[in-house]
Amino acid sequence: MVNVDKLSKAYGNRVCVWDVSFDVARGEILGFLGPNGAGKTTTMRMITGFIPPSAGTARVAGVDVTKDPLSVQSRIGYLCEAPPIYREMVVKSYLKFVAGLKRVPRAKQKVALERAIELCGLEHVQNRVIGNLSKGYRQRVGLAQAILPEPEVLILDEPTSGLDPLQIMEIRQRIRELSGEQTVILSTHILPEVTAICTRVVIINEGQIVAQDSIDGITAGGASDNVKVKVARDSDDLAQRIKALGGIQRMVRGEPGVYQLKLDREGEVRERLSGMLVESGAGLIELSPERETLEDVFRNLVTEEDTAA
């Protein structure tokens, strides 16, 4: 549905986005993850045709944004970082204006309006002036604006920023409800958000993609296994012996008897470790593999990039 091919953007000699490529299939929710200033907003702006790319192409439904921006823009709903609201307008009039702006046929406007208001939970504020609403409601008005024309592709730039936890949960719920019918690209620097909503994730740092995969794939990947070891009778000697085993990348000794280990995947380290532990007579209680959380993956990828740069 959305094809981004070698997209780059430079301002002067400062490169913001470099050689970014990814595809989003119909009905997918793609999480666009990266620290602040990684180039998420710039990439999204290029997909929406707000700014032109320095190189590369972005296609929505096979149409190049720079060649036919109006055709692309009639297929997308876009919520930019700061909700694009007119503070002096009443919620309903604002949404009516957006419906006209997005060329929703007049006959369908009423239904589309009601749907957006209902989906975003704006029923009891629809006759109020936007400027008088709380930040959370303004964000919801922004979301309503994006989903109003029932676009094929929904692009949301940090849709939950600045909201309280309850509101965040609500907005996430709304976005999940949209999935299936609509393709969603969502940027965020909050990790749990991606695992909560998205089906796929693209991690970007300093303008470049550092990883992209499904959520399951990305947390399973990597060249190491995390293992948790629990023994009944801990001793300093045991710690020495584990270290001496070889193939241990990192060892953290937590409460007595509990070790967090990071092992090389190669060389049957896990097998040798279990053998040694049983032999030592320390009383092995637990040896369990631990999945890396997305947070680990993210931190590793991003810090690796940092040391390389």
Partner 1 sequence: MSSILNLTRREIYSYFVSPIAYTVIIMFLLIVGLGFFFSVFLYSSLNDTAIAEGNQNIRTYVIQFMSFWVNLALMLALPALSMRVLSEERKNGTAELLMTSPITTTQLVLGKFLGTLAILALMLLLTLPLLITIDFWADPEWPALGAAYLGYFLFGAVILAIGLFASSLTENQIVALLMTYPMLLPLWLSELLLGRFSGWANQVVGALSLRNASLTMSLGVIESHAIVLACGLMFLFLFLCVQVIDSARWR
183 binds partner 1 per the rule CB under 8 A: no
Q: Which two structure tokens, joined as six digits, stand for 141? A: 């008005």
The set of residues, in sequence order, having a beta carbon less than 8 Å from that of 148 and lying 6+ positions away, is 77, 95, 98, 99, 102, 104, 112, 113, 115, 116
Q: Cα angle vertex 61, ends 19, 9, to 5°?
A: 25
β pairing state of 200-205 and 208-214: antiparallel
Contact range with partner 1 by CB under 8 A, out of 76-84, 237-245, 249-257, 295-303: 76-84
* Residue 29 C-beta: closest distance to partner 1, Å: 20
Contact range with partner 1 by CB under 8 A, out of 16-24, 75-83, 176-184, 203-211: 75-83
In the bound state with partner 1, the residue whose beta carbon lies nearer, of 97 and 243, is 97
DSSP letter at 158 equals S
82 binds partner 1 per the rule CB under 8 A: yes
In the bound state with partner 1, the residue whose beta carbon lies nearer, of 51 and 258, is 51
Q: What is the Cα–Cα distance from 27 to 31, expressed in whole angstroms?
A: 13
80 binds partner 1 per the rule CB under 8 A: yes
Region 149-168 residues binding partner 1, contact defined as CB under 8 A: none
Q: Which two structure tokens, joined as six digits, stand for 209? A: 């993609």
* Residue 85 C-beta: closest distance to partner 1, Å: 7
Q: What is the Cα–Cα distance from 240 to 248, expressed in whole angstroms?
A: 12
Contact range with partner 1 by CB under 8 A, out of 32-40, 101-109, 219-227, 260-268: 101-109
Q: What is the Cα–Cα distance from 123 to 125, expressed in whole angstroms?
A: 6
Q: Which residues bind to partner 1, rule: CB under 8 A?
A: 11, 45, 48-52, 70-71, 73-74, 76, 78, 80-89, 93, 97-98, 100-103, 129, 145
